[in-house]
Amino acid sequence: MEIRLILEDDQEVQVPSGSTPLDLLRRLDGTGDRWIAARLNGRLIDLNAPLKEGGRLSFIPYDSKEGLEILRHSTSHLMAQAVQQLYPGVHVTIGPATEDGFYYDFDFSRAFTPDDLQRIEERMKELVDQDIPIRRMEMSREEALDFFRKRGEPYKVELIKEIDEPVVSLYEQGDFVDLCRGPHVPSTGKLRVFKLMKVAGAYWRGDEHNKMLQRIYGTAFPTEEGLRDYLRWLEEAERRDHRRLGRQLDLFSFHDEAGSGLVIYHPKGAILRWILEDLEKREHLRRGYHMVIGPQMLRAELWERSGHMEYYKDYMYFTEKDGQIFAIKPMNCLAHILIYNSKIRSYRDLPIRYFELGTVHRHEKTGVRHGLLRARGFTQDDAHLFCRPDQLHDEIQGILKFVRDMMGLFGFSFDLEISTRPEKAFGEPEIWERATRALQESLESLGYAYRINEGEGAFYGPKIDVKLRDALNRSWQCATIQCDFFLPERFDLTYVDASGERKRPVMLHRVILGSLERFIGILIEHYGGAFPVWLAPVQAVVMNITDAQREYAQQVTRELRAAGIRVEEDLRNEKLGLKIRENQLQKVPYMLIVGNREMERGGVSLRSREEGDLGFATLKEVLERIRRESEVVLGS
């Protein structure tokens, strides 16, 4: 029997029932080597899947986003097969693809070593050379449970017990069988370019109460060139790592004796943060925000009323005094709600925009903490806007323009997502739909493209997530805009409308940079520590050639400081070349060198971090140059 297929170019073809997409590819282009999987009527399928129905058929190339995910997931299975062959008694768990590669978690009696990774890689290459067919199988849920029990795979049994469908799919390649939705490559011979990267600990299901497993990370690409480019990218990312640069540039430190995940800013790091805070205060005031400050802890009853206790209790810190329980705040919204509710509000008062650089604390789990990027104590540029429903679009658009201006200042491009109602959430779906629609319409009216992130909203409302892209094209979550109809209800927030009736305002939660700690970590890596002049903690360093110019160098420093330049001195009795090299490593934008000739002429020899030696310059010329490069101009 023939079945009718419609291809991407609307070409219609007839193929025998039971033939595969790979059979069709070989008929169309001879080999089909460009393609890794297919999509039939919107459903991903293997290239060697028998075709039993007609419809629209398209093919997934290896180098597409979906193709890379399939390639990497198939390579994770290859790695698990190699591990089980080399280390009898190991239990396999899960092995997904990630943005940059894949991993697989194993339960094994001893720790894997770098030598083990090399052995596993070699066995993987042997399996590739064998070109083992990869075959999809389907079993009833009960059959699959029995199958994995007999193989001694308790983690697979646990996963299958949570599957509601009566039939589950498995993939077999030689002696290895895994529970998997698929699709996968047709055979192991398609998986030739990969590298295992490292081993790390990981709790089963990400729960610290479960057993600690061993996670082997790897990556895979369609070509050797792709792998080489990725490894070079990794080297650059390592060179820019904010933890390493934080030590090198003396910006911040962490100390276990002070508390895990709590950052301590050194003088230069504190200046960097102060520059960002000062910029934010000025820009918020310019945009009609009111500065507020809330207490560091609030009574636990308030967090119960808001619903935070139900959803965030495990991430909160508590203290008890005089019979009362207080929670150290994990966010800033409740104090802002209390300010709003401190007096009667008229419709003419709205919108009201409260802004706070609020320090919060969250008990982030050990496995997810990562320097400044995931700390337990951090400061948010938090704001809460209270507006009438008819003002909602204008306020959301105003926030989006603010985000656009700030991201442009740092040279970040960004992508936008709308995160919708999670499984556990307050309120009726109709209210969620109304809030989500307001976010969508605001983005569309400004011409922004966005994607929907199903089920990832906050428990009290949908949100716009801004994913900025740094110099290495990595994506970072920073700004967010959350539309909230529920906390105004819980705290009975009202305003008096034109007819004298009490109405409920809409509340917008938003951050622009997000956590200052996280944003500083991103900036360090984005710039590789070489901050632009306006942002550099030290904009210039004055250095003498000999002690004969010491007093003059100090005079130059005083004049620059008086003019508002962030300047330091390097008057050590060291060779000039050494001082230049060391300050270059400190990534100082300008070095002002003074010798007898410069002292006689009343100027300096100017050296730029990027351009090298710029020759003689008067102090006026130096000041004008630094001031010009320090100008920060944002839109409105």
Q: Does the pLDDT at position 424 exceed 80?
A: no
Quote the domain boundaries for residue 201: 66-238
CB distance 152 to 60 below 8 Å:
no
Task: Quote the tokens at residue 485.
Answer: 């109809």
| Residue among 296, 245, 287, 238 at smallest CA distance from 268 | 245
The set of long-range contacts for 279-282, using a CB threshold of 8 Å and a minimum separation of 24, is 279/632, 280/357, 280/381, 280/512, 280/513, 281/357
118-140 b/e (C-beta count within 10 Å ≥ 16 → b): ebbbebbeebbeeebebbbeebe
Mean pLDDT, residues 247-264: 93
In angstroms, rounded to a whole number, what is the distance separating the alpha carbons of residues 52 and 62? Answer: 25
Asked whether residue 31 carries a pLDDT value surpassing 70, the answer given is no
Whether residue 25 is found in the same domain as residue 91: no
In a domain, 189, yes or no: yes
Nearest to 46, CA basis, from 131, 127, 133: 133
The CATH number assigned to the domain holding 55 equals: 3.10.20.30
Counted domains in the chain = 4
Task: Give the residue from 16, 221, 274 showing the smallest Cα distance to 102.
Answer: 221
What is the rounded distance in angstroms from the CA atom of residue 473 to the CA atom of residue 471? Answer: 5
Q: How confident is the model at residue 2 (pLDDT cuts 50, 70, 90)?
A: confident
- Measured CA to CA in angstroms, residue 575 lies from 184, 332, 418 at distances of 62, 52, 57
Whether omega before 589 lies within 30 degrees of 0, making that bond cis, reads: no
Q: Is the pLDDT of residue 635 over 70?
A: no
The catalytic residues are: 333, 362, 380, 382, 384, 463, 509
611's CB contacts (< 8 A; 6+ apart) are none
Task: From 578, 552, 556, 577, select the one nearest 568 (Cα to Cα).
Answer: 556
Q: Do 408 and 488 belong together in one domain?
A: yes
Tally of CB atoms within 10 A around 203: 17
**CATH code of the domain containing 140:** 3.30.980.10
CATH number for 416 = 3.30.930.10
pLDDT average, residue stretch 199-211: 87
Residue 592, domain CATH: 3.40.50.800
Question: Which pLDDT band, with edges at 50, 70 and 90, does 435 fall under?
Answer: confident
Residues 388 and 409 in one domain: yes
Q: How confident is the model at residue 308 (pLDDT cuts 50, 70, 90)?
A: confident
Are residue 505 and residue 546 in the same domain, yes or no? Answer: no
Are the C-beta atoms of residues 604 and 592 closer than 8 Å to each other? yes
326-342: average pLDDT: 95
User: In this structure, are 164 and 277 located in the same domain?
Assistant: no
pTM, rounded to two decimals? 0.86
Q: What is d(CA 371, CA 375) in angstroms, rounded to the nearest whole number?
A: 6
Specify the pLDDT at position 504: 94
**Is 97:200 a contact under the CB 8 Å cutoff?**
no
User: What confidence tier does 636 reach under pLDDT thresholds 50, 70, 90?
Assistant: low
Q: Is residue 498 part of a domain?
A: yes
